[in-house]
Amino acid sequence: MKKRRSSEVSETRILDLKGQTLGELALIYPNDYSLAVANLGFNRVFEIFSKRGFKVYRFVYKTAEGRLQSLDGPRRIEDIKLWLLSLHFELDLLNVAKIFSRMRLPLRPEWRTHRHPVTVVGGALTYFMSPTLLDIFDAVYVGELEPNVEELTRTIFNSSGHGRDRLMGSLAEVPGVLVKSKLYRDEGFLCKDEGATTFARSVFLSKNGAFGYRFLLEVERGCKRACRFCVVGHRMTPARYADLQWVLEELRKGLCFTDKIGLVGPTVVDHPEVETIAEYLYARDIDVSFSSMRADRLNEVVVRALAKRQRGFTIAPEGGSQKVRNFLGKGLNESHILNAMRLGAQHGLRKLKMYFIYGTPVEGEEDLEEIAKLAREAKKLYSEVCVSLTPLIPKPGTPLEGLKMLDMKELKRRERFLRRRLWEEGTHPKFESLKRSMLQYRISNAREGELLSILEEKMRGENNGGANTQF
């Protein structure tokens, strides 16, 4: 264990590192430290390469200052020949463009020379945007890292010091790696259930993290549901669940550092042993949070554990009416939602947050009104009700692929209606910015070549005083 404090971050590393002699690489998270340290993918990649003998230098992007921040000492990123980028959100690609610009790395891979590093991107976006990402990255690692990590680390080690072309050529031979010269669309290797899937946990703890000084543990990977709007349910399959003994062992380790635990997964309450895990934490008076709770899977044991130290919880009905929920394939009905509300209130929870999607092609005003109605029911039971609303953004790789997002004028009209009605019900509506949502839609649905155009357009706007960067 190593504690590190600087003027910028204070963190505890809970991983022993020995003999990092195989080479060095930069691991970049293109957003702020608070998000990076709370991202288990970022933690996992650090752990995997560090344990295999690489010196991994982490960098995050300070959005307020527009600069890279080094987390592991004074090593200059310009001197590191291999950059791995951990990319999970479409709009973070704008930060990637800014990082490249600041580091004088051409956005177009074909303009790069032997002086430039090789950039490899991995993360959630690779599940549905792989070929497009080659617009700006030299290589894309598609899907989960674990199945091919031995081959990948061997390739990096054997190629280090031999220049950019050799590394690019070798990477192209690694299963799961996509490069322009090997552009194919067989993405059957996205996830592998080999019966030995290993899961991620926090490697660093920091009070600066998005969830505070909380030990995060991945207990589920993939999702067995198949909500029609969700990439996870369609591309990150099959669902796999961490072995109970492993979970308990990791919890014991994490509890040596903190009494705050976060259980992470697309639908944590689907874990077949979730009640045993919840009871274990309840008995020890632990502050536990769940990254996701399906209303139809909540039960006494889980809510009791949550309510021991938390004041509120979150559910995602997604649709206000059954018609919209059916369109979204959410698999919930109104009684699931009302039961979940009652259960939380019975255990003393005082705050409820609900996620909704609006702007579906099937909805009319009466369906939006149903959102207000659910908010009213919630308000009878909770002192604080927050309603978070996002417009429908159809994504590739889902059954909604190809569906057009509603236009701005219509979305604004629906937003105005919902905002008024939800205020009238005494709740706090929080709307995702429509400009940002539209941009997310454009990026996630970009074809090869279009991503580059979008980012160049945004960078030109930035250089012209930000006139084009209001997203």
176 binds ligand SF4 (CB under 6 A): no
CB 227 to ligand SF4: min, Å: 3
Closest CB to ligand SF4 among residues 149, 232:
232
CB 233 to ligand SF4: min, Å = 3
Tell me: does residue 429 bind ligand SF4 (CB under 6 A): no
Q: Is the peptide bond before 361 cis (omega within 30 degrees of 0)?
A: no
Among 48, 87, 167, 227, binds ligand SF4 (CB under 6 A): 227
Q: Which of 30, 143, 254, 266 binds ligand SF4 (CB under 6 A)?
A: 266
Stretch that binds ligand SF4, among 87-95, 187-195, 218-226, 379-387 (CB under 6 A): 218-226
Nearer to ligand SF4, 258 or 267 (CB): 267
- The answer to whether 124 contacts ligand SF4 (rule: CB under 6 A) is no
267 binds ligand SF4 (CB under 6 A): yes
| Number of residues this chain uses to bind ligand SF4 (CB under 6 A) | 10
- Given 35, 40, 190, 223, the residue binding ligand SF4 (CB under 6 A): 223
Which residue has the CB atom at the shortest distance from ligand SF4?
Answer: 233
How many CB atoms are closer than 10 A to CB 209? 22
Q: Which stretch binds ligand SF4 (CB under 6 A): 181-189, 222-230, 387-395, 455-463?
A: 222-230
Comparison of 170 and 390: residue with beta carbon closer to ligand SF4: 390
CA dist., res. 347 & res. 381, Å (int) = 11
Contact between 230 and ligand SF4 per CB under 6 A: yes
Residues that bind ligand SF4 (CB under 6 A): 223, 225-227, 230, 232-233, 266-267, 294
